[in-house]
Structure 1
């Protein structure tokens, strides 16, 4: 099992890396070359850089993930693509994407996009809080524990 992070703009990289350290799991951060970093990371963290482009990271993540892996992303479309491969997917707010809830999320995204295209304003995401960070960590740890057979 590997932990994958859809790295462009993810506010929970450090939390994911710390949990990976605790459970001795590899982390793969997939991100655009626009977000290239020289920051030092532990040896169990690798970066996969992709070309600029709206879906470049998504396509690479779909190609790299395998059943049993865990993906951290806020992208509903990407989540829907890897769920069918047996990948567990979690949002940065701690909500797990499942086959039971992904269609509703995609429909909401579609209707919001339709409203914006028609000139109406829709609410953007709320500011990321310390409570969001805590909820994410608790949810991700629960997923990891289940995947490694500790629950």
Structure 2
């Protein structure tokens, strides 16, 4: 089992690495050449800068039962389709039950912006976001380990 982190804009890289080490889950960071996020004793896969280059490399690396951290709904959908557990940096788990709604929201928001509309950006990150992420991430780690012990998903 691996932890794959879409690290380009991930504010919880260090927290995720710390937690994954407690569960003995091997982490891999993915970023493009404009971000170069590296940590000691962690594999970092750096891909050429380009639209979705990190996403496609991450999807092609993951296996069923792996855990992915990303805020990208499109990437999340591809990972869910391959049997991964997916969580964002605020602790929101993305599943087959909610990904269609999230993708629809992304589509409608993009359509609104193309028509000249303005949307508020994300709220400033707080310690509460880190706590929510940690709780959900630990829950997912434990669930993934339990499923693996039982022999499937």
Q: Same fold (TM over 0.5)?
A: yes
Q: TM-score, normalised by structure 1?
A: 0.94
Query: How many equivalent pairs are there?
Result: 147
Q: Distance in 2 between matches of 1:118 and 1:56?
A: 27
Which residue of structure 1 lines up, in the alignment, with residue 7 of structure 2?
7
Q: Which moved more, 1:119-128 or 1:4-13?
A: 119-128
Is residue 2:67 matched to residue 1:64?
Answer: no
Offset of 1:40 from its aligned partner?
4.6
| 1:2-30 C-alpha deviation (Å, 9 max, x unpaired) | 00100101000011100111111110000
Gaps of 5+ in 2: 148-153
Give the alignment partner of residue 108 of structure 1, picking from 83, 94, 105. 105
Q: Which runs of 4+ in 1 moved over 3 A?
A: none
Q: Distance in 1 between matches of 2:77 and 2:136?
A: 19
Gaps of 5+ in 1: none
Q: Distance in 1 between matches of 2:20 and 2:124?
A: 25
Determine helix, strand or coil for the equivalent of 1:148. helix
Q: TM-score, normalised by structure 2?
A: 0.92
Which residue of structure 2 lines up, in the alignment, with residue 73 of structure 1?
70
Which residue of structure 2 lines up, in the alignment, with residue 17 of structure 1?
17
Is residue 2:70 matched to residue 1:52?
Answer: no
